[in-house]
Amino acid sequence: MTPQLDVISIVVTDMAAAVAFYRRLGLDFPADSEQEAHAEAAVPNGLRLALDTEGVIQSFYPDWTPPQGGGRVGIAFRCADPAEVDAVYADLVDAGYHGELKPWDAFWGQRYAVVNDPDGNGIDLYAPLPTTTG
């Protein structure tokens, strides 16, 4: 068997805040995940996103210390179209999350934006830009 990517795991400081953020992005965490030390949501393509509190990681690795600041992982959410990038970005920023990079038309052909999750990780939002024929 060839190993296959199955789970992306993020170490979180506050489970309730992290679950709330990723639910706003459409992930379906089980009820009461906010009170757990480990929570998982399946995504349509078969992957799972797992959230683990710093405490649960320290229980397995007593010498582990949490990294400071963001940049623990990079995750990108594909949106249906450029307008959805703008709408999702606005919704998250209006809900109090930090907008790291406002939506813009990137030179690589995407409407692109970045919002930070509660632990400071950059969460990319993108959609392909319409192509023009001439």
Q: Do 78 and 113 form a contact (C-beta atoms < 8 A)?
A: no
Tens digit of each residue's pLDDT (9 = 90 or more) over 55-83: 888 887 888 888 777 666 778 899 999 99
Tens digit of each residue's pLDDT (9 = 90 or more) over 11-38: 999 999 999 999 999 999 999 999 999 9
CATH topology (fold) of 1-63: 2,3-Dihydroxybiphenyl 1,2-Dioxygenase; domain 1 (3.10.180)
Per-residue model confidence (pLDDT) at position 90: 98
Contacts of 90 (CB under 8 A, 6+ apart): none
Q: Do 5 and 102 form a contact (C-beta atoms < 8 A)?
A: no
Compute the average pLDDT of residues 38-65. Answer: 88
Per-residue model confidence (pLDDT) at position 70: 66
Give the closest residue to 79 by CA, choosing from 65, 71, 89, 69.
Answer: 89
Per-residue model confidence (pLDDT) at position 63: 86
Per-residue model confidence (pLDDT) at position 133: 59
Distances from the Cα of 127 to the Cαs of 26, 29, 54, 80, 82, in angstroms? 16, 24, 33, 6, 5
- Residue 134 pLDDT exceeds 90: no
State percent of the chain over pLDDT 70: 95
Per-residue model confidence (pLDDT) at position 98: 96
Same fold, 1-63 and 72-134: yes
Q: Do 69 and 121 form a contact (C-beta atoms < 8 A)?
A: no
* Structural domain boundaries in the chain: 1-63, 72-134
The Cβ of residue 42 has, within 10 Å, a number of other Cβ atoms equal to 12
- Residue 3 pLDDT exceeds 70: no
At residue 18, what are phi and psi to the nearest 5 degrees?
A: -65, -45
**Tokens matching residue 116:** 């930070």
Mean pLDDT of the chain: 90
Give the closest residue to 46 by CA, choosing from 5, 2, 1.
Answer: 5
- Quick one: 72-134 is in which CATH superfamily? 2,3-Dihydroxybiphenyl 1,2-Dioxygenase, domain 1 (3.10.180.10)
